[in-house]
Amino acid sequence: MRYDWIQADWPAPPNVRVVSTTRTGGVSHGPWSSFNLGLHGGDDPSHVEQNRASLSTVLPAPAHWLRQVHGTSVQRHVAGFTGEMEGDALVSFEPRQVCAVLTADCLPVLFCNRQGDRVGIAHAGWRGLANGILEATVRALDEAPTQLMAWLGPAIGPQAYEVGADVVEAFPREFPAGFTARGERFLMDIYALAKLKLAAVGVHAVYGGAYCTLSDPERFFSYRRDGVTGRMASLIWLDQHESEIKKSA
């Protein structure tokens, strides 16, 4: 099976692992074709489970999936937990705990520290972004912001994300830097807004942000483009830290 998955281009420690899936390489059909990982979008659940099983072959343990609600709740990975916790961000301080979020236009933001002993991931739609999901994730990582870095995964691009004045009004501190007027509406740059939010809490080492899910239908699902569609996953975890390897040798 061929997978067209994305690796993060950032200077993370070597034991920090990242995978961001695309829509290719799975068994789903129709609008969910083909590597859909979302169980709540109308796809045949057996197809989603087959796709998740394929994904698990490259993971050190089953991914921890969240029940995402466009909020600001951050969960901490619980070893052995197999259900769904409600929230839009997840952090882990232990090796081989896979943190995941699902997206189809919203922004996945992946975090690690320079020491390589903690990671996190956030699902940032415009509501979560405006209300502080990134700031909450930084707090949950319990690390000096200068020691953190972030990678912005595939999301809807700044030339495609048209919004109304109600969305603009949710970002008073970031206006107009994150928006471009288009008649009575606006183009929203979710990547720029994420960078502004992160900079405001001291995280300046930010990478990624080069994709547009809406304008690349061959590679990405897009809810805004298609309505009924699948979901990609972005995942991050820690491999065994070098110091732990030395202790066990």
81 alpha-carbon distance from chain centroid: 20
Q: Which residues of the chain have pLDDT under 70?
A: 1-2, 241-249
pLDDT of residue 52: 96
pTM of this prediction? 0.95
- Which amino acid, residue 122? A
The tens digit of pLDDT for each residue in 90-105 reads 999 999 999 999 999 9
The tens digit of pLDDT for each residue in 64-92 reads 999 999 999 999 998 777 778 899 999 99
188 alpha-carbon distance from chain centroid: 18
195 close to 206: Cβ distance less than 8 angstroms: yes
Asked if residue 176 has a cis previous peptide bond (ω within 30° of 0), the answer is yes
CATH of the domain spanning 16-155+203-244: 3.60.140.10
- What region, left, alpha or beta, does residue 133 occupy, with left being phi > 0 and alpha being psi -120 to 50 degrees? alpha
